[in-house]
Amino acid sequence: MMLASAVRNLSRRSFSTSKAAAAQQLTVRDALNAALDEEMERDEKVFLLGEEVAQYDGAYKVSRGLWKKYGDKRVIDTPITEMGFAGIAVGAAMAGLRPVCEFMTFNFSMQAIDQVINSAAKTFYMSAGTVNVPIVFRGPNGAAAGVGAQHSQCFGAWYSHCPGLKVVSPYDSEDAKGLLKAAIRDPDPVVVLENEMVYGVSYPVSDQVLDKNFVLPIGKAKIMRPGKHITIVAHSKSVETAMLAAGELAGKGIEAEVINLRSLRPLDTETIFKSVQKTHHLVTVEQGWPQSGIGSEICARIMEHETFFHLDAPVWRVTGVDVPMPYAKTLEAAALPQVPDVVTAVNKVLGVK
C-alpha cells in the first residue's frame, strides 16, 4: 500500500518537472571548448595558439582535449610573449589561415595591442580591401576575484573604439558558443571578451545550441527579460547583476526589460531604441570605468536619435568605480556594480522613493 502510494507520488513529480529543470545544462567553459572543437573539425585552417593552451589544456581548461585530438600543428603552446605570438597569429591570418589567439587575460593584450590594432584591425582598409585578416583574439576580460589592478580591467570600451575590429562580450553558455563560432567564421578580426567568473557556471541550453551548426549573429542583442517600466542594458557578467536587480524590482511592481548586448561593436542600437521607446527610461550597467565607457556610448547614441524625445528621465549609468581595482576583498566588491546599485539607479530614474 505504502509502496503504491510512493510510486504514485513519484510519477506525479516526474510529470510536473518545469521547463527550466528539464533543459540541458552546459558550462561556459564547455560551450567555448565545443565551439573551438567544432570549428577546428569543420575547417582545417583554424588553429589555436597561446600560453599553456596545448599540453596543459589551457590555463582555464577551455582548450581541454584539443591538443590530443588535433596535435602540435593546430594547438600551439607559445612562450610568454604576447607581442610575439599575436604577431605570428596576425601574419598567419594574412596568409590565409584562421588563427584563434588566446590571451591568458586581456590585461596582457596590452603587450600586443600594436599587433591587434595596427596590424590586424587596419590592414583590410589599408590594403584597399585586398587583404582579409580572419583572426580571433579571445580570453578572459574584466574583473575576476582577488587578482588586483593588473588583472581586473575591462577592455570593452578600448577595443570597441577601434574601426576594423568586431567586439563581442558573451554572458552565458548560449552566447559563448554561438558568438565564438561566429567570430571564427568571420572574415575580419574579432575580439571575444569572455569572463573568468562564469567559466564554471552552468546555464540551461536548448538542443539548438548543442547543434554543430548553431551560430549567433554578431551585432545582435538579446532581450533576456521583457518589461514595460524601464530598460536595463548590460553586457558580460553585468547581465547577471541586471537580471537579479530586475527580479528584485519585480517584487515591488516594477517590470524592467533587460537587454544583453552580446556585441559591443557593432552595437545593436535598434534593439535599445525600440525598448526605450516602449519603457521611456534607461539604465546601463557595466563593470568597466565610467569615462568613455559602453554606457557613455549608449547615452550618446540615444541623444543623437529621436529616441531621446521618448525619454521621461535622464539615462543613468551604473559602472565600475573610477579607480584601479583594489586588492582587498571588501574594496573590490565596492568597486564593482552590485544589485543594490542597479536597484537604486532604477528607483532614482523612475522617481520611486
Average pLDDT, the chain: 93
Q: What is the pLDDT of residue 253?
A: 96
Q: What is the pLDDT of residue 13?
A: 40
Q: Which three cell numbers stand for residue 289?
A: 570605468
What are the residue ranges of helices labelled H in the chain?
A: 2-15, 19-22, 28-42, 66-70, 82-94, 113, 122-126, 156-160, 173-185, 207-210, 238-250, 269-279, 294-303, 329-335, 339-350
Average pLDDT over residues 67-82: 96
Tell me how far apart the terminal alpha carbons of the chain are, to the nearest angstrom.
58
pLDDT exceeds 70 at position 90: yes
Q: Which of 236, 258, 260, 259 is nearest to 171 (CA)?
A: 236
pLDDT exceeds 50 at position 12: no
Burial of 77 per CB tally in 10 Å (0-12, 13-18, 19+)? middle
Average pLDDT over residues 240-251: 98
Q: What is the pLDDT of residue 34?
A: 97
DSSP notation for 55-122 = TT--TTSTTTTHHHHH-TTTEEE--S-HHHHHHHHHHHHHTT-EEEEE-SSGGGGGGGHIIIIIIIIH
Provide CATH 3.40.50.970 ranges for the chain.
25-210
Q: Which CATH architecture does the domain made up of 222-350 adopt? A: 3-Layer(aba) Sandwich (3.40)
pLDDT exceeds 90 at position 251: yes
Q: Which three cell numbers stand for residue 182?
A: 561566429
Q: What is the pLDDT of residue 56?
A: 95
* Displacement of CA 252 from its chain's centroid (Å): 29
Provide CATH 3.40.50.920 ranges for the chain.
222-350
Name beta bridge partners: 46.
98
Query: What is the rounded distance in angstroms from the CA atom of residue 143 to the CA atom of residue 18?
Result: 34
pLDDT band at residue 23 under the 50/70/90 scheme? confident
Q: Which of 180, 43, 158, 44 is nearest to 102 (CA)?
A: 180
Q: What is the pLDDT of residue 353?
A: 80
Average pLDDT over residues 57-77: 95
Q: What is the pLDDT of residue 166?
A: 98
Pairing mode of beta strands 202-205, 190-194: unpaired
Q: What is the pLDDT of residues 104-134, one digit of tens each?
A: 999 999 999 999 999 999 999 999 999 999 9
Q: Which residues contact 309 (CB under 8 A, 6 or more apart)?
A: none
Query: What is the rounded distance in angstroms from the CA atom of residue 27 to the CA atom of residue 31?
Result: 6
Highest mean pLDDT among 2-16, 36-50, 143-157: 36-50
Query: What is the rounded distance in angstroms from the CA atom of residue 233 to the CA atom of residue 239?
Result: 8
Q: DSSP character for 129?
A: T
Q: List, by residue number, the catalytic residues.
A: 82, 151
pLDDT exceeds 80 at position 60: yes
pTM for the model: 0.91
Query: What is the rounded distance in angstroms from the CA atom of residue 240 to the CA atom of residue 198?
Result: 10
pLDDT exceeds 50 at position 8: no
pLDDT band at residue 22 under the 50/70/90 scheme? low
State how far the alpha carbon of 219 is from the alpha carbons of 59, 72, 168, 239, in Å: 29, 34, 8, 17
Q: What is the pLDDT of residue 1?
A: 43
What percentage of residues in the chain have a pLDDT greater than 70? Answer: 94
State how far the alpha carbon of 313 is from the alpha carbons of 3, 230, 276, 349, in Å: 62, 10, 11, 6
Domain 25-210: state its class: alpha beta
pLDDT exceeds 50 at position 2: no
